[in-house]
Amino acid sequence: MKGEAGHMARISKKVSAAQREAENAPHRIWKTAIYARLSDFDDVLRDTESLEVQISYIKEYINHRDDLMLLDVFADKRCTGMNFDRPEFERLLKALQERKVNCIVVKDFSRLGRNFVETGQYLEQVFPLFGVRFIAINDNYDSLNSQSRDGMLVPIKSMINEMYSKDLSQKIQSCFRSKEARGEIYTPVPFGYKKDQKNHLILDEEVSDVVVRIFLWKKSGMKEYEIAKKLSAQEIPTPFTRRCQLGYVKNTSRVKDPAWQPAFVTKVLENPVYTGTMVYNRIAYDETNRKIGQNPRESWRMVPDNHPAIISWELFDEVSVLREAEQAVREERKTWCKQRRKNNPNIFKGRIFCKECGEKLVCHWQRDGSLYFYCKFCHVSISEKDLWNGIHKELYQRLEEHKYLKKLMQKNSGKSNLETKKVALSREMEQVSGNIVRLESQKRSGYERYVFGELSKEKFLELKQNLKNEIVEQKQEKSKKEKELALIQEELRQKKQIAGNTEVLLTADNLQQYVKKIEVDRRKITHAEFLL
């Protein structure tokens, strides 16, 4: 324990020295990054915490500082402050490690995090260790200023933020329950409806009849993609386009392709809101508030007769039963196809091309278990059976040609040379691996010397970079030799096979080994390339 305490004391002294050096540095320009964060809670309660507002506020602050030079902006949206598992924050840490930035500016401590322990670790240990300056504008905190580094200030604010976050979560849930009790909608308005000034759903008479048509078409047996195609042909606005037309979407730049997609149709068909019943807690979210599916029906919170119905419950249930049956068939077919592919792998994968357009053919399993290949762009298709029969004869002739076998047998005389190369390469790889281990050890040793004050920061960074470059070179050399060794081993295997059996059998392995490309046109092979 004493050794550990002494070790931490030395680190603390080094951090303090780095801070004093930074404070006294004349006219230093800090490579600055903005960090902003917005959680779903912030988004629901107010607009003053929006990412755009945060970033604009911080930029204005930086513009009035001669010692700060803005290099990058990192912004996490829909990310909780109770942990640091955030994509943009991880990118920020990488930038710190690569010394691309050495100063972070946030609006306040809560934007960095609301977790007392983890936030304190970053402020008191991680940032100082990297020599990073941290500024929280609204909290008047600047790690470069000794007074604002008062040891009690940050922990207290972090603790308050953590308590605030938990209290805020409860308030949000209470707010949602109140809205639900009043029958209000606080999610995107579903297609076919509008909302009044009290956030109650009312009919969107311009498109509500489209919802009825969608359900009736599905009841008649139409597929989702067929319904989507029909709606696009009739130039019906998509749900997102309609929300933009109604003014519910601020950023309309996403409206690029107004075509209906099968997923849009599915979203309409699976939503019971069209029966006049408001359903809450239908969608399931993960810890980061991303949609992951639907909650079980028994956990839904339902408010019947909440708003005007577009369809009846009978029609909704009838379509739901039909969709469940279709889904069961799809799952059964998916399971069957998966097992079929496992037992009978596609040996022609990546080798069949369309003669007309040059694109690769894709495979499709028929109901009878047979495999068909077809082009997505041209009327070109061929069965696996016809493909195999067509290539079988030519491949067999190639493999049986005396000249080819004789050539391979002659190559076999060089087997001893290959064995010698194999042994030499193996020894060279062992030597390179040893070099990598030695360099990694030197790298760790250099870090320890730096921590204990035996190496200056400049010397440590120089040593670290040199060792890193050498390690990269050695790893590249190792990878190169591994590829050479793999080629030699494959050639030795082929020679051994031919030497032991001059009568080569026609198998799937031979097809994959010797057939490079097959061109198909109108159910027949027109050209084949071999690796012989």
Confidence tier at 3 by pLDDT (50, 70, 90): very low
Q: How far is CA 59 from CA 79, 335, 345, 520, in A?
A: 22, 55, 58, 60
Q: Are 398 and 404 in contact (CB under 8 A)?
A: yes
What's the CA gap between 282 and 296, in Å, rounded? 8
- The pLDDT of residue 436 is 84
Name residues whose C-beta falls within 8 Å of residue 236's C-beta, 6 or more positions apart in sequence.
207, 210, 260
Nearest to 322 by CA among 217, 214, 212, 221: 221
CB 125 within 8 A of CB 19: no
Whether this model's pTM surpasses 0.85: no
* Model confidence pLDDT, tens digit, residues 425-476: 877 887 888 888 888 888 778 777 777 778 788 888 888 888 889 988 988 9
Average confidence (pLDDT) over 310-339: 85
Q: Which residue is listed with tokens 């799937």?
A: 508
- The whole-number pLDDT of residue 157 equals 58
Task: Tally Cβ neighbours within 10 Å of residue 191.
Answer: 25
**Confidence at 368, pLDDT banded by 50, 70, 90:** low
- 3.90.1750.20, 3.40.50.300, 3.10.129.10, 3.40.50.720: which CATH number matches 193-324? 3.90.1750.20
| CA dihedral angle for residue 126, residue 130, residue 135, residue 141, rounded to 10 degrees | 60
Whether the Cβ atoms of residue 460 and residue 450 lie closer than 8 Å to each other = yes
pLDDT digits (tens, 9 = 90+) for 238-273: 998 888 888 887 766 655 567 898 999 999 998 888
Q: For 319-333, what is each residue's pLDDT tens digit?
A: 999 998 888 887 877
Q: Indicate the fold that domain 2-167 takes in CATH.
A: Rossmann fold (3.40.50)
pLDDT higher than 90, residue 32: yes
Measured between alpha carbons, how far is 114 from 161 in angstroms, rounded to an integer? 5
Is the pLDDT assigned to residue 4 strictly greater than 50? no
- Residue 105: pLDDT above 90? yes
The amino acid present at 170, given as its one-letter code, is Q
| 291-311 per-residue burial string, b: 16 or more CB within 10 A, e: under 16 | eeeeeeeeeeeebeebbeebb
